[in-house]
Amino acid sequence: MSEMRVVERQVSTTALLLPAVLVAAGFALAGYFIGNGLLEARSASRHVTVKGLAEREVKADLVLWPIAFNVTANDLVTLQKRVDESAAKVRTFLERDFGAGDDIGQSAPRVNDREGQMVMSGKTLDRYMAEAVVTLRTGQVEKVRTAMARSGELIGQGVALMRSYEMETQYLFTGLEAIKPEMIAEATRDARNAAEQFAHDSGSRVGSIRTASQGYFSIEDRDRFSPEFKKVRVVTTVEYFLE
């Protein structure tokens, strides 16, 4: 009889302990998952934003060279004739060095009636003055610079060359697409190096990329005295996770 009571008491104790053990195990598992989730969330919130720079110096591969000149006359018929004569001399000068594959164009003349100016100044001037431009478009950059040094020959032929701030020679670089992938990769590597330095200083390790954005490419003259050389620049912004 006493043995049966002992067995019943053990069964009753076990029945009471089992729910408590299960509850404790549940709390432990819940605490583990909650703690692990908080750890992952905290880890995910740790990131660093860095910028990467890539620069290259390139040579211009296209030149727009406007040659501006003016002529004067007392009537419009003579004025147009003189425009055509000067333009023909400029074309001959250019065609001596440039030909197939190069574009030589001419703008419409801009005519100024100076009758009012003559009255005000009291001087005897031709009534009309026309400004015209012959423009060369070519990829032969060095040849253009050589021809510029010889452009005084036109003055010797009676062409009244003029300096026009509206018609400055332009040196352009058109090969951006060819170097763009390499420059983006270079800027990304530069950003990665900056992130690794930051991670090293903070006792962390650089993880995967969180976000990345490519800046715009800028093309500028290397300096004001050598516009035939260009500086190409791009900046990328990258966010890395820190582990």
Query: What is the end-to-end Cα distance of the chain in Å, rounded?
Result: 66
Same domain? 72 vs 119: yes
Chosen domain end from 112, 140, 172: 172
Closest alpha carbon to 134 in 154, 115, 113, 119: 154
| In the predicted structure, residue 172 carries a pLDDT above the cut 70 | yes
Q: Quick count: other Cβ atoms within 10 Å of Cβ 68?
A: 19
Q: Do 40 and 75 lie in a common domain?
A: no
Residues 74 and 155 in one domain: yes
State the Cα–Cα distance between residues 33 and 132, nearest whole angstrom: 81
Domain boundary among 151, 172, 193: 172
Instruction: Give yes or no: residues 158 and 67 share one domain.
Output: yes
pTM of the full structure: 0.73
For residues 70 and 143, state if they share a domain: yes
Residues 161 and 189 in one domain: no
Helices and strands: H and E segment counts in the chain: 6, 10
Residues 22 and 124 in one domain: no
CATH number at residue 183: 3.30.110.170
Please state the domain count of the chain: 3
Structural domain containing residue 24: 1-45
HSE, CB side, 13 Å, CA atoms: give it for residue 206: 19
Within this chain, do residues 74 and 142 fall inside the same structural domain, yes or no? yes
Is the domain of 227 the same as that of 194? yes
Domain identity same for 115 and 80:
yes
- The predicted-structure confidence for 102-134, as pLDDT tens digits, reads as follows 899 999 999 999 886 665 556 678 899 999 999
The reply to whether 66 and 168 lie within a common domain is yes
Q: What is the pLDDT of residues 4-49, one digit of tens each?
A: 454 445 545 555 555 554 545 454 444 444 444 434 444 456 888 9
Tokens 């934003």 locate to 49
Domain co-membership, 143 together with 69: yes
